[in-house]
Amino acid sequence: MREPSRLLRPLLFALMIKPIIALVFGLNVRRGENIPTTGPAILAANHNSHLDTIVLLSMMPLSLLHKVRPVAAMDYFMRNPLLAWFSERIIGIIPIKRGAARDEDPLADPESALAAGNILVIFPEGTRGEPEEIARFKKGIARLAERGPDVPVIPIFMHGLGKSMPKGALIPVPLFLDVFVGEGRCWNGDRNRFMQELADDIQRLADEGTFPEWE
């Protein structure tokens, strides 16, 4: 697990990514006071676009950016040297192996990152879904919360990114983006109940803007 660049990453976000997100997409963050200012913490958001990660990172102060680590699939983001370098050094991903063997622990690196005081970005759906729809959550986030019962999990709903740059698109379309940030919750002692409560939290955020219901 490589650390993100302490120089290039904040420089790129300050000079390019943050201005583009603000000016081109008109990002509107609702209840931004719920965004954590220190770790450990987990940001749990819906996932419709590759822009999701960039937008979430752009919401963080530059002074905290080095502590924000998206959890992402190793087979996709590490498939060639250039993409691997950009993903780890600039985006700051923690790559995890999908379909790990029985003797492998895919949550070992994310757990270590939380223990070091990092803020993880996790998409519980596991992959990008259809535009503006929310798929069923996978339980990996519940297992991670169980290992760090005092770590708050902050629900986030993002609207507009599924239409701006849906799965398969190469060029984003400028659209107004809304991000709804809920209050954090910690491990409640039961994986199924934790997943249901997290799903309910994100659905309530979606309902604030009268967005589509769960499928």
Q: Give the chain's domains with CATH numbers.
A: 8-208 (3.40.1130.10)
| pLDDT tens figures, 188-212 | 999 999 999 999 999 999 888 654 4
Structure-token match 């530059």, residue found: 62
> Would you tell me how many other CB atoms lie within 10 Å of the CB of residue 206?
20
Give the DSSP letter string of the chain.
-PPPPTTHHHHHIIIIIHHHHHHHS--EEETGGGS-SSSSEEEEE--S-THHHHHHHHTS-GGGGGGEEEEEEHHHHTSSHHHHHIIIIII--EEE-TT--TT--TTHHHHHHHHTT-EEEE-TTSS--STT--PPPPTHHHHHHHHSTTS-EEEEEEESHHHHS-TT-SSPPP---EEEE---B---S-HHHHHHHHHHHHHHHHHHTTPPPP-
* pLDDT number for residue 57: 95
| pLDDT tens figures, 159-173 | 887 665 555 555 556
Q: pLDDT at residue 38 above 60? A: yes
> Would you tell me how many other CB atoms lie within 10 Å of the CB of residue 18?
19
Whether the predicted model's global pTM rises above the 0.95 cut: no
CA atoms within 13 A on the CB side of 142: 16
Q: How many whole angstroms separate alpha carbon 144 and alpha carbon 142?
A: 5
Q: pLDDT at residue 103 above 90? A: no
* pLDDT number for residue 174: 56
